Amino acid sequence: MTAGTTVTAPDGTEVVLGEIGTRVLLENPRVRVWEVALDPGEAQGWHLHHNPYVVLCLSTSPCHMDWLDGSPARQLSETVGGSVYRPVSPVHMLTNHGDAAYRNRLIEVLDLGEEASGLPYDVPQGVATGSSFAEVGEVPAKVVVDEDDVRVQHVTPDAGESYTWQTGAYPALVVDLDLETEPLAGLVYLEPGESYTLPAKPSRTSGYNLVELRYFSR
């Protein structure tokens, strides 16, 4: 991480880089998961990514991304339950210029970036290549990111419904998008072949994102 590092903008201004998120919720040799929380008018500050990352939207508001090199700003319009997978990128900052709170979970994929541990990863024998649900019939899930490295599914159970999901031949994360759920309790890391039952809720919420680190199965 480069927080605290001083860089120079094209106009000669010195800028001290900050963290890429508000706080770290989970960290292991494979991933680092951040909470990003910006209230209306709040900016995240200049920062730099050294690892590819997945953004999961929990609460949306119009935002824009500025680039330290002077490139045109990028306007962001995200949807709750949506996700995006991004490579490393130049120094930038995120500003919430809307009237609502913006919240996301940012998952750094350490194995594919500069912070890769180099630790080998062996998939246990007998583990199916792909993930699956234990339930027979239709599950309210849709794929919102489908890349060679990462796949993200959005699951939206109705009130009282619960589904059991089993990972494939790769680690995965389950992220509860309900803002009423305590962030640490709403984040589960699964090893290949492990299963997890999504907690039933008394009312319909924003659901869950299932993040599959598919590069392990290649």
Q: How far apart are the first and last CA of the chain?
A: 28
The reported pLDDT for the residue numbered 136 is 85
- Single out the residue of 14, 4, 17 nearest to residue 91, CA to CA: 17
* Torsion angle defined by CA atoms of residues 212, 214, 216 and 218, in that order, rounded to the nearest 10 degrees: 160
| Tens digit of each residue's pLDDT, the chain (218 residues) | 677 888 888 888 888 899 999 999 999 999 999 999 999 999 998 999 999 999 999 999 999 999 999 899 999 889 999 999 998 888 999 999 999 999 999 999 999 999 999 888 878 888 999 999 999 889 999 999 999 999 999 999 999 999 999 999 999 999 999 999 999 999 999 999 999 999 999 999 999 999 999 988 76
CA 93/CA 48 separation, integer angstroms: 9
DSSP string, 134-202: SSSS--SEEEEEE-SSEEEEEE-PPTT---EEE--SS-EEEEE--TTS-TTTTEEEE-TT-EEEPPP-S
Q: Cα 83 from chain centroid?
A: 7
The reported pLDDT for the residue numbered 1 is 62
Backbone angle region of 184, left / alpha / beta, with phi > 0 → left and psi within -120 to 50 → alpha: alpha
Question: Which pair of tokens denotes residue 155?
Answer: 């699951």
Backbone angles phi, psi at 40, to 5 degrees: -55, 130
Q: Which burial class, exposed, middle or buried, applies to 59 when counting CB atoms under 10 A from its CB (0-12, 13-18, 19+)?
A: middle
The reported pLDDT for the residue numbered 101 is 96
